[in-house]
Amino acid sequence: MTSLSDEEKSMGVVTASTGNHGAACSLAMSILGIDGKIIVPDNVHKNKVDNILNLGGEVEYHGNDCLIAEERAQEISSNTGTNYISPYNDPAIVCGQGTIGYELNQELKNIDSVFVSVGGGGLISGIGGYLKSVQNQVKMIAVSPKNSCVMFESMKAGKQLDLPSEPTLSDGTAGGVEVGSITFALCQEIIDEFILVDEEAISEGVRIGIEKLHQLIEGAAGAAIAGFLQKKDDLKGQTVVIIICGGNISSEVIKSVL
């Protein structure tokens, strides 16, 4: 948002999110004094919406999929002149997420593998894009829920696909990917291996986060842990990073997985 001109800032912003991106945009809008709206799917968890609202954002519910929410945000932008900020299909967003890779490189110089949950692909594109430029040995391992793996199926097909998704505990990665998204080509280049995990494995990942790491983590972070658990026997002696990408989890979901 800091890259917007004063005139653009005065027009406000609109975005779509199932959690972290919406919260981050709400905070940025509050700091910069920009009006805006975050479009969320109807089935988003209440605690994620509360987090957005507590940071000053305005919320509109639309559709039952993040891609449908994104399309609504783009419609508002087209009709009102408001600036649309994609949660992943934007070079500035990908670069911002790449700062995680920069920080990892400051702390660990010989990383073998990085496990990242993938929905739209912005997070792994940013992290992997930077890390592979400074540590060419690193393997970027993508993880998605079997119930919603549009990027995986698109990469397998060699073209972007529009596929339905089933409900998943990893709601932060669920849903479709915008047609023409820059992240599709980036993921094709950056991802070395793609793992799919089922709902029980994601639940186990969340349980490990809570019981062993003593962190409240959401399903998308649990998916990354689940992906690591599938590969752990092959990774002995290696330097491995698991991206814990969110902690937006409700008390009801916590009860269901424990």
Domain boundary assignment for the chain: 6-85, 91-257
Give the integer Cα–Cα distance in Å for 10 and 76: 16
CB 206 within 8 A of CB 218: yes
Residue 250, pLDDT score: 84
Alpha helices (H) in 108-243, listed in sequence order: 122-134, 150-157, 182-190, 199-211, 219-231
Give the contacts of 76 (CB within 8 A, at least 6 positions apart).
Answer: 14, 37, 39, 82, 84
Q: Which residues contact 102 (CB under 8 A, 6 or more apart)?
A: 130
User: CATH topology for 91-257?
Assistant: Rossmann fold (3.40.50)
**pLDDT (0 to 100) of residue 133:** 97
Distance CA 256, CA 252 (A): 6
Q: What is the pTM of this model?
A: 0.93
* Cα–Cα distance, 203 to 225 (Å, whole number): 10
Q: Measured between alpha carbons, how far is 124 from 69 in angstroms, rounded to an integer?
A: 22
Distance, CA of 67 to CA of 242 (rounded, Å)? 26
CA distance 73 to 37: 8
Same fold, 6-85 and 91-257: yes
Measured distance between the N- and C-terminal CA atoms of the chain, rounded to whole angstroms? 39
CATH 3.40.50.1100 fits 6-85, yes or no: yes
Q: Show pLDDT as tens, one digit a residue, over the chain (258 residues).
A: 899 999 999 999 999 987 789 999 999 999 999 999 999 999 888 888 988 999 988 999 998 888 899 999 999 999 999 999 999 999 999 999 999 999 999 999 999 999 999 999 999 999 999 999 999 999 999 999 999 999 999 999 999 999 988 999 999 899 889 999 999 999 999 999 999 999 999 999 999 999 999 999 999 999 999 999 999 999 999 999 999 998 888 888 888 998
pLDDT at 249: 86
pLDDT confidence of residue 44:
85
Contact predicate 13/1, CB 8 Å: yes
Write down the pLDDT at residue 70.
Answer: 94
Number of Cβ atoms within 10 Å of the Cβ of 81: 10
**How far apart are the C-alpha atoms of 7 and 39, rounded to whole Å?**
23
| Predicted pLDDT at 248 | 84
Cα angle for residues 167, 170, 175 (degrees, 5° grid)? 60
In this prediction, residue 45 carries a pLDDT of 82
